[in-house]
Amino acid sequence: MNRRDAVIQLAVASGAWISLPFWMVACRMSDTDRHLSGFSPHEQQTLAAIVDAIIPAGPHHEPGALAVGVDKYLQKLIDDCFEPAARDGVKRQLQAVQPAPDIAASLQRFSVSADKDQKEFFDLMKRETIRGFNTSQQVMTDYLHYKIAPGHYYGNVPVKSQA
């Protein structure tokens, strides 16, 4: 390898190392950033209303599913994990749900519907709302008292020997 190629490679590597922190900052998402959803604003509002109807906020300031962000979780789940046909089916059913005052009645009707698509839509919304709520950080830490490592580690404990 000649000196000129080594200097060029060193300059390129140095430039990459210098710009790496800027790339990482640009790629980071915080909790306040929004997920670019494939749902229209009306569909997002309907999804939020459904989530709020399934697990509403409690009377003593207990969070509901909407407060812990389950609607955003469902948007991301459906956008990223579902096949296009299933995504379109969810969107069709969201359009079939009645406006906000009748959301609970629509969900009740969907739960006992003879239409397979409506029944599956209701089951999906209920199942994933409950899963999203129970696995949210706020519920896991504040109400279920989840700890990453159960118990406390005592590293330096005196041990009595049997000598």
CB 113 within 8 A of CB 79: no
CB 55 within 8 A of CB 65: yes
The answer to pTM > 0.95 is no
Q: Which two tokens stand for residue 134?
A: 């129970």
Q: Nearest 5°: CA angle at 102, between 97 and 105?
A: 85
Q: What is the DSSP letter of 142?
A: I
What are the residue boundaries of the structural domains of the chain, listed by start? Answer: 41-143
> For residue 100, what pLDDT is reported?
62
Burial profile 11-43: b = 16 or more Cβ within 10 angstroms, e = fewer: eeeeeeeeeeeeeeeeeeeeeeeeeebebeeeb
Q: Per-residue pLDDT tens, the chain, 163 aa: give them.
A: 688 887 788 777 777 667 666 655 555 555 445 557 888 999 999 999 999 999 999 888 889 999 999 999 999 999 999 999 999 999 999 998 877 678 888 888 899 999 999 999 999 999 999 999 999 999 988 888 887 776 777 788 888 888 6
In this structure, the dihedral spanned by the alpha carbons of residues 137, 50, 30 and 37, taken in order and rounded to 10 degrees, is 140
Residue 143, φ and ψ in degrees, nearest 5: -110, -35
